[in-house]
Amino acid sequence: MINLKGKVAVITGSGRGIGKSVAEKLAEAGADIIITDILVEAGEATAKEIAKKYNVETLFVESNVTNSESCVALAKATMEKFGRIDILVNNAGITRDGLFMRMKEIDFDLVIDINLKGAFNTTQAFYRTMTKQRTGSIINMASVVGLMGNAGQVNYSASKAGLIGMTKSLAREAAKRNVRVNAVAPGYIQSEMTDVLSPEAKEMMMRNVPLEIMGTPEDVANAVLFLSSDLSSYITGQTLSVNGGMIMQ
């Protein structure tokens, strides 16, 4: 069993969904957890739930990843509470889907700001501490569409492809300080977004998945857990696909 006791993990966008599953998985392995989200009620509830369920220290910090000052405040709160940062999961993200011809500039900018620049802002807030510690694992939540593209998701695909490029470049810089940077690229995952799809739409989606099943948030969390642990100590600059075989690299 993977043991993260003594480690401190920050997960953005972790009040619910995949981010919450990641936080639970890391807490189950013994890590102390910082939940951060713009959803205050959900974030506070998640932090309390995880602390009680897994007997770890937790902290909720309201933070907006598009605001660099907010990210700096998050880092400050983390250091004041725990004195270190071992794992950073850049999970916060949104979609604003639409065909390119009709896509509004505001929807393109918002997706890039949260999904890509948000990861930049948060990572930069913690990066100096990690390099001084000479240890750390940064995990960026990419997507299968960042690798293959998808009609109606030009903005989202661009943000996730950019995140993969940022992962590779930062991994080359950070390696000399023993800080690893990797990405996880989920495929079709059970979520609030997929729950509302019709059976016909889900069947069409599954035609592109060789395993013929939809992934779960826990499947993604397991990949993050691996990249957070010493089992992946010789892995950096990589994108781990969790997609049931949609893309085989």
| Residues identified as active-site | 156
The residue with tokens 């907010």 is 70
HEC string of the chain equals: CCCCCCCEEEEECCCCHHHHHHHHHHHHCCCEEEEEECCHHHHHHHHHHHHHHHCCCEEEEECCCCCHHHHHHHHHHHHHHHCCCCEEEECCCCCCCCCHHHCCHHHHHHHHHHHHHHHHHHHHHHHHHHHHHCCEEEEEECCCHHHHCCCCCHHHHHHHHHHHHHHHHHHHHHHHHCEEEEEEEECCECCHHHHCCCHHHHHHHHCCCCCCCCECHHHHHHHHHHHHCHHHCCCCCCEEEECCCCCCC
